[in-house]
Chain A
């Protein structure tokens, strides 16, 4: 093993070991979790997974909730961001610069500070405890990044293109639908996957908006399993939940690695 391979192994160990430990714990009996002396062959069990899937509400419910909410947030964000990004690019240069600075500021903003006012808003509009209503704040919180990515994509298109299509007599909607949106598809895909991940993982707002257990998203359900006491946490069940909850994300990251990387770097670098 040469030096580089050593570094690579260390990197992988550091990145994956905590998750592997969860994987091992999830198959370990509760007795063996707290007693290293249990013989090797008697340490293994599927009971944690069985419990998770038969609890009320069953665990897959939270996975479903998170998937539905993240999809709705992604669709709403993209639907708002594409026309807005197109509009931004057509603003006079000076306006574009100012609005881009403002949007970058919003992207930097530690959004957790908004939770109290958003909670009031949810109460006065009667949106509390409605899973899909969370798509509204999630879209707003994702819009800064989406706008940065999509304005950069629109700017990257040759300027004559839009004019030529206009000369052909195409309306704005037609130009967007047939010319511009297909051309910015890669940036849209990056944006969509990042928004999806944000909405899937968001915690403080979901924590304060939702209280009925069948409505909870995965991060909130996880934290609720953690409960209040440090000592009574059912780690086996929790580890199993971590493994099940991580599987969809593992899949997403492996499938969309390229989009995630280009979205993150373009969002940061061009914004």
Chain B
């Protein structure tokens, strides 16, 4: 009976999560492109050899990692500050929390183009400010060196509220008595942050890190609309490259290989990160 309740949901998840991975594994050992008339033809490990030697793939791996690491770090730092602010008691806190949640709730594509307008040269407000303080023209969206920062800003704007909520939930589990006792002992509030808040918040920090890193590694919507991967491929992410391979170059075998390769790298780095955390003993206080 229990199984009967579970079966529909499990079958659907197996179809949507499981089947694609099997299909990619199979496709990655086949040529399936315009050249083969879109009919899969086994080609041994040719796709994988091509991936290993594909400079664009490795450049995208670096760019995607840079994007993920920098934006998630910035989000975490900002979210911590905002959560500390929202954890205090003041009037209108609920309304402010709702308003700060808005960027997270809007579709990414919608505000991605909004940001393009803000970063626009010469008409956007950013250029106006830069010109006013004598920095302009920035030409942010046309500079292969700096455009990735625009994608980071837009991502930080959108996803900081998510981490803020997680950290806020964590802060609210810390008993106020702890702080009172600490103050009685003559501790200063900055020390309380270091000695009480951060250690007790660590599980929540790690959790949001894990979740956001995995999501940021798959970044697609934001980049596709904000920069299209440009200028000169300098903001292209792995997911966007896989998308181009499938939808623009119609090379499905290689697209599958790119996605599987990216996924393997992501899983490997998460495993290594978890292992390093465990070895370093940072998680010891969390274990029962």
Contacts and interface: CB of A to CB of B under 8 A. Distances in A.
Interface residues of A, number: 83
Contacts of B259: 113, 116
A179 interface: no
A230 interface: yes
Nearest to B5: A87
A81 B2 CA distance: 13
A222 B207 CA distance: 32
Given A11-B96, A87-B6, A106 B13 contact: yes
B266 interface: yes
A87 B2 contact: yes
Interface stretch (B15-23, B54-62, B69-77, B175-183): B15-23
Interface stretch (A43-51, A133-141, A161-169, A183-191): A133-141
B115 interface: yes
Given A87-B6, A239-B117, A34 B123 contact: yes
Contacts, number: 232
Nearest to A262: B169
B117 to A, nearest CB: 5
A153 interface: no
B256 interface: yes
Given A113-B242, A140-B13, A265-B166, A4 B94 contact: no
A114 B239 contact: no
B111 A140 contact: no
Given A4-B90, A110-B214, A113-B218, A84 B9 contact: yes
A84 B2 CA distance: 8
A136 B9 CA distance: 11
A91 B259 CA distance: 34
With most chain A CB atoms within 10 A of its CB, the pick from B1, B8, B88, B107 is B107
B224 A223 contact: yes
A106 B18 CA distance: 10
A206 to B, nearest CB: 10
Interface in A212-267: 218-220, 222-223, 225-226, 230, 233, 235, 238-239, 241-242, 245-246, 249-250, 252-254, 257, 260-261, 264-265
B275 interface: no
Given A8-B85, A143-B12, A109 B157 contact: no
Contacts of A87: 2-6
Interface stretch (B43-51, B98-106, B184-192, B280-288): B98-106
Contacts of A268: 166, 169, 207-208, 211
A100 to B, nearest CB: 13
A90 B214 contact: no
* Interface of chain B: mostly helix, strand, loop or mixed: helix
Contact of B102 (A19, A88, A112, A264): A19
Contacts of A111: 218
Interface in B79-115: 82, 85, 88, 90, 94, 96-103, 105-111, 113-115
A211 to B, nearest CB: 11
Nearest to A4: B90
A208 B5 CA distance: 32
A60 B114 CA distance: 20
A128 interface: no
B23 to A, nearest CB: 5
A84 B13 CA distance: 12
Given A16-B99, A19-B102, A11 B82 contact: yes
27 contacts: A4-B88, A11-B82, A15-B103, A18-B114, A33-B123, A84-B9, A87-B2, A90-B2, A108-B214, A110-B217, A111-B218, A113-B263, A119-B246, A121-B19, A140-B13, A140-B16, A143-B12, A203-B107, A203-B108, A204-B239, A222-B225, A225-B113, A230-B228, A249-B106, A260-B105, A261-B165, A268-B208
Interface of A: 4, 7-8, 11-12, 14-16, 18-19, 21-22, 25, 33-34, 36, 80-81, 83-84, 86-88, 90-91, 106, 108-121, 136-137, 139-141, 143-144, 147, 172, 197, 200-201, 203-204, 208, 218-220, 222-223, 225-226, 230, 233, 235, 238-239, 241-242, 245-246, 249-250, 252-254, 257, 260-261, 264-265, 268-269
Interface of B: 1-6, 8-10, 12-13, 15-17, 19-21, 23-24, 82, 85, 88, 90, 94, 96-103, 105-111, 113-118, 120, 123, 125, 128, 141, 157, 161-162, 165-166, 168-170, 204, 207-208, 210-211, 214-215, 217-218, 220-221, 224-225, 228, 239, 242-243, 246-247, 252, 255-256, 259, 262-263, 266
Which 3 A-B pairs give the minimum distances between C-beta atoms? A110-B218, A117-B20, A140-B16
